[in-house]
Amino acid sequence: MGGKIWKAAAASLALILTSSATVGAVTVNFGTVAAVATDNIQNWPKAPATVSETAVLIDADTGAVLYDKGKDEYRYPASTTKLMTLLVAVENASPRDQVTFTETGVRDVNWDSSNIGMQLGETITMKDCWYAAIIESANEVCAQIAETVGGTEAEFINMMNEKAKAIGCTRSHFANAGGLPDANHYTTAHDLAKIMRAGLQNARFRKVVGGVNYTIPATNMSAARGMHTHMPLMARESNLYYEGCIGGKTGSTQDAGHTLVAAAERNGRTYIAVTLRTQDLGQNCNDTIALFDYAFNNFDTIDVNGVKMTVPKGVTAADLTTQSFERNGNTFDQYYYNGQFVGYAPAAAATPTAAVTAAAETVSAEGEPQASDGAVQTAETGETSESQETQKTESAVQNAEEEQEGLSDTAKRLLIAGGCMGVLLIILLIALYIKNG
């Protein structure tokens, strides 16, 4: 009798552990085309029709959303994952680092995985790896980047997920560095836009994602490898070439469909478009072109309390409403047009630089790249430190707004875990009682 009880207890424990392991699982949609939420905003420019299941268009400077088609719905990213891989790599490695390929890398050299044919023991530079990951979408290179930068693949993936949280990605989880299919590897259009936006603040990232041609010099085991972009919006020979496209990444798997993240810049205005799950890349490109044209033709940049914001043409600062909040003892004003967020700025009574610096200090304490890394980026891009601090402030503000939601999820998990442990304890006590009784 006692043996049966112990078996029952063991079975119950297994069920509890299995249930606990799936607590954080999400449902990724397939075949569902989202509605365009921004079409419901009064006096907002009418958006073009798109075929992508979900999509988003944001202002790269302010982060404001100009077009929302299911921006927060879960989807698989496929190789657009490599934007996060690149961002973590450029922040934690030198382009001159030597990368020697191990079994970790070469295991992904096979016919059904994008690769550049790296061999066991072959050595290239980290810079070569970055371009191979973006231009050729080389999965074996991404795996080797992960092991080289993180020490282990698992640690690098942890770094990816921590970086995602730091820049405000609340609905993403990465399970590998290349975007290979995995039920626990998912994101949203909006989170991918946030990743691209953060990356464009880094000079090395910006240069790599904008690369059209690159040659990996001859190595200890191979002749030189020439590479040319597979991104139609950046290839001048393509009928889908888009003047002003400054970078992006494509992706494709059976479950993800075709995915695309791209950025375009004209006359000092930069926009990021993300289109997820179409039947072919041409559809992503056409949707992206339509969204970029929509942004450049229907929106203007205005000055609001010393801060640039993108609003529909004809809208002035007087047409905006505000909502104030405090962060680190500083007051900020969020600006809205008919309920749609368009930007934020330090309150008129505050000193902008002091407010930005105070908020940025908190973000740095929470894990953002420190000043030494920022100094390198400033030297390479000519960007002002104020520009970089502004981005950090935005992360701080976003973290503050999302803090409550994060605490709620944590509390739920703790309650579930506590309940599971309680049930297990009761089962074990009953089993002991029967056995000894």
Q: Which of left, alpha, beta for 241 (phi over 0: left; psi -120 to 50: alpha)?
A: beta
Q: Which helix H or strand E contains 247, and what residues bound it? A: strand 245-253
Q: What's the CA gap between 189 and 325, in Å, rounded?
A: 27
Query: Which residue did the predictor score with more confidence, 110 or 384?
Result: 110
C-alpha distances (whole Å) from 54 to each of 28, 32, 66, 100 are 12, 9, 14, 39
Give strand pairing partners of 278.
Answer: 258
pLDDT(369) > 50:
no
- Alpha-carbon radius of gyration of the chain: 24
- In this structure, the number of other CB atoms found within 10 A of the CB of residue 15 comes to 12
Q: What is the mean pLDDT of residues 197-213?
A: 98
Give strand pairing partners of 59.
Answer: 271
Q: What is the pLDDT of residue 7?
A: 44
Instruction: Judge: domain 37-412, CATH 3.65.10.10.
Output: no
Q: What's the CA gap between 257 and 208, in Å, rounded?
A: 24
Confidence of residue 111 (pLDDT cuts 50, 70, 90): confident
Q: What is the pLDDT of residue 112?
A: 85
Q: Which helix H or strand E contains 84, and what residues bound it? A: helix 82-92
How buried is 48 (Cβ within 10 angstroms: 0-12 exposed, 13-18 middle, 19+ buried)? middle
Q: What is the mean pLDDT of residues 400-422?
A: 48
Q: What is the pLDDT of residue 187?
A: 98
Q: What's the CA gap between 391 and 383, in Å, rounded?
A: 12
pLDDT, tens digit (0-9, with 9 covering 90-100), for 210-264: 999 999 999 999 999 999 999 999 999 999 999 999 999 999 999 999 999 999 9
Residue 61: name the closest of 318, 284, 345 by CA: 345
Helix/strand/coil for 251? strand
Confidence of residue 1 (pLDDT cuts 50, 70, 90): very low
Q: What is the mean pLDDT of residues 195-220?
A: 98
pLDDT(198) > 80:
yes
Q: What is the pLDDT of residue 389?
A: 45
H-helix segments, 167-312? 189-200, 203-209, 281-298
Strands in 19-167 per DSSP E? 54-59, 65-69, 98-100, 123-125
End-to-end CA distance of the chain: 11
Helix, strand and coil percent figures for the chain, each rounded to 5: 45, 20, 35
Q: What's the CA gap between 390 and 36, in Å, rounded?
A: 29
C-alpha distances (whole Å) from 277 to each of 51, 54, 285 are 9, 7, 12
pLDDT(396) > 70:
no
C-alpha angle with apex 194: 369 to 293, nearest 5 degrees?
135
Helix/strand/coil for 278? strand
Q: What's the CA gap between 141 and 404, in Å, rounded?
A: 38
pLDDT(437) > 60:
no
Q: What's the CA gap between 343 and 327, in Å, rounded?
A: 16
% pLDDT > 90, the chain: 68
Per DSSP, 316 falls in state -
Helix/strand/coil for 274? strand
pLDDT, tens digit (0-9, with 9 covering 90-100), for 291-308: 999 999 999 999 998 999
Q: What is the mean pLDDT of residues 154-172?
A: 97
